[in-house]
Amino acid sequence: MKLFTPDQLKGKVIVVVGSPRGLTKALATKAAQLGAHIALIQRNRVRATESNIVFDFANEMRQTGIEVLPFVCDVRNRDEITSTMAEIGDRFGHIDVVVSLLGSIKMMDLAHHTPESDFGLMSSTDIQGTRQAVRAALPYLERSSDPHVLLSAPPLRYSSDWNVPNTPYSMTKFAMSMCAIGLMAELEGSRIAVNALWPRLKIRLDDAPQSDLQESLVQTPHARRPDIVVDAAIWLIMQKKSDALTGQFWTDEKVLQKAGVEDFTPYRYTMKRTASAKSLVSLASSESSDKKSHRLSIFKFLQRL
């Protein structure tokens, strides 16, 4: 099924925040191919082993005739991210979409083996970075005729089998979920649509760096390619704000089902038996997401507590 037509995002200004690999790279590439103006913000280098690959990506895209604006800043720093968003907003006059794909996929326990530096970096980047990025973009989103905020955050469901062994990661992702809930409530009366998106099954990221994912999580017959999340994200940000299409936690499957997709086999990834792959792991409890929708406004959420 063909979801999009050429130039369907023509003229849209989309800001993607996250490392320009994996899902971030795939989303920026496809949105640009559909005609969007893409600004890609990579966090500052924090380790000597990291590089500003956002510029390599921009050069790669330029060779195909697509212009991507690359930025590097400390997304946790209010002044830096505000300056970056202002540069983007002033160049185009507005921002239509902000997609935060911030997320340090580092699987570790809470009490024994987690370096303080890793935990501090993961929590500050994911939580503070997401908040600051959206906050800095708001003045320019308000100038858009159809503004959207899309966060990579899971539904607030807890699985002792999966979340306990990976508590630090779960803590940061659930904090991003709470950030999404807060934004959904605070911006409910505005023209800005706010949604959260999460993969129902594991996503195989070939070009991502080595991770600490356990072998058992990598060796799965149910992994999918990043395209499924990318297609879901693009379909969501193309929709006009409505009660049915804002203030919700979506899985990629639920979005695409709403878009009319019935067959998900084209998104299937054929896994190789290697330990070097990196997967973006969805909550184990999201396996039940096909039983009911993850629609969740702040008021409905509070009623369930």
Distance in angstroms (rounded) separating the CA atoms of residues 152 and 199? 9
Distance in angstroms (rounded) separating the CA atoms of residues 104 and 118? 9
pLDDT tens per residue, the chain (305 residues)? 789 998 999 999 999 998 888 889 999 999 999 999 999 999 876 555 556 789 999 999 999 989 899 999 999 999 999 999 999 999 999 999 999 998 665 556 555 566 666 676 777 788 889 999 999 999 999 999 999 999 999 988 866 555 555 677 788 888 999 999 999 999 999 999 999 999 998 887 665 444 434 343 444 557 888 999 999 999 999 999 988 889 999 999 999 999 999 999 999 986 555 444 444 444 433 433 443 343 333 334 333 33
Strand partners, 100: 17, 151
pLDDT, position 32: 95
pLDDT, position 124: 77
Identity of residue 292: K
Class (C level, CATH) for 13-304: alpha beta
Kindly report the CA angle at 227 between 8 and 14, in degrees rounded to 5?
Answer: 45
3-state secondary structure at position 137: helix
pLDDT, position 115: 67
Half-sphere exposure of 26 (CA within 13 A, CB side): 19
pLDDT, position 220: 53
pLDDT, position 171: 83
Distance in angstroms (rounded) separating the CA atoms of residues 52 and 62? 17
Question: What is the maximum alpha-carbon separation in the chain?
Answer: 52
pLDDT, position 244: 83
Distance in angstroms (rounded) separating the CA atoms of residues 127 and 132? 9
